Chains A and B, each alone.
Chain A
Amino acid sequence: MIDTALFYFFALLTLGGAALVVTRRSAVLSAVWLIVSLLGVAGLFLLLGAEFLFAAQIILYIGGITLLFLFVIMLVNLDAAARLRQFRRSWPVIAAASVGLAAELVALLLKGQLPAAAPSHDVLSGNTEALGAVLLSKYLVAFELASIVLLVAIVGSVWMGQPRGNQDIERPQG
């Protein structure tokens, strides 16, 4: 019973936050609602028994990515941009297409039959231990490649963030 209530609470947090992210005019408000939505997803992870992903979601997404977004919003000074039109003119078409897509996906999901659960491969109790064991044995190469991806991303974003000399090529009036 409490599980049902918690599920609807976190689902509401996730979907409501997401809807507000895409509809707020101010980018700062969007970032704040993004925190709410990501917290809802973290709660869903917890309900599904993925404790490690719950912690990673909070540390990485809410602590890392959202902070990065807010930082960039401060840097780029979006106050001037906030007064401009924030939505494309064709938004009613896109909204109608999105509603249609959502209806189709939900109808298919409700109509379809999930295959029966396979017999257990590994115990999900002790989630963090099981995940660590799988990451460091079966997916060791992917795990190491992920660290290389992160290293390249760090170096690349630092390099791109630096001001360089020859930037007077084609600066438009606005």
Chain B
Amino acid sequence: MGAAITPVHYLVVSALLLVIGTFGVLVRRNIVVILMSIELILNAVNINFVVFSRLYRHTDGQAFALMVMTVAVAEAAVGLGVLIALFRNRGTVLADELELLKW
């Protein structure tokens, strides 16, 4: 590895974080951990926004990252609310046991 840290280094970290999050969404059965993996994916997106904001000396990327954070908070609150209602009604938090909508 070279001495100086370039934007590509950050982009590689972001890509790996995205892949780890995707792996978590696909592989876990517990809905709580699936929601955590979605947070990881959104963080990978935020790193990308901030890297390009830095590269182009432009604040817009950080404004977008802030919007992503807002939506992530809303998503977590609503998702966990749905999860609690789901657990109360169905008694499970495993994604593949919830097959009411499956054909």
Contacts and interface: CB of A to CB of B under 8 A. Distances in A.
A45 B50 CA distance: 7
Nearest to A124: B57
Most buried by A among B7, B20, B46, B71: B20
A103 to B, nearest CB: 9
Contacts of A174: 91-92, 97
Contact of B69 (A47, A61, A72): A61
Interface in A81-121: 81, 84-88, 91, 94-95, 98, 101-102, 105-106, 109-110, 114, 117-121
Interface string B19-30: 111111011111
B84 A106 contact: no
Interface residues of B, number: 76
B20 A142 contact: no
Contacts of B87: 76
Contact of A60 (B51, B73, B75, B83): B73
A131 B69 CA distance: 14
A131 B84 contact: no
B63 A50 contact: no
A55 to B, nearest CB: 11
A interface bracket (residues with beta carbon within 8 Å of B) = 35 or more
Contacts of B4: 4
Interface of B: 3-5, 7-13, 15-24, 26-30, 32-33, 35-37, 39-40, 43, 46-47, 50-51, 53-60, 62-63, 65-67, 69-78, 80-85, 87-94, 96-97
24 contacts: A7-B10, A15-B20, A18-B20, A21-B24, A21-B33, A22-B27, A31-B32, A38-B43, A44-B47, A57-B69, A68-B76, A69-B32, A69-B36, A76-B84, A91-B27, A101-B19, A106-B15, A117-B57, A118-B58, A153-B74, A157-B78, A174-B91, A174-B92, A174-B97
Interface of A: 1, 3-4, 7, 11, 14-15, 18-19, 21-22, 27, 30-31, 34, 37-38, 41, 44-45, 47-50, 52-53, 56-57, 60-61, 64-65, 68-69, 72-73, 75-76, 78, 81, 84-88, 91, 94-95, 98, 101-102, 105-106, 109-110, 114, 117-124, 127, 130-131, 133-135, 138-139, 142, 146, 149-150, 152-154, 156-158, 160-161, 163, 167, 171-172, 174
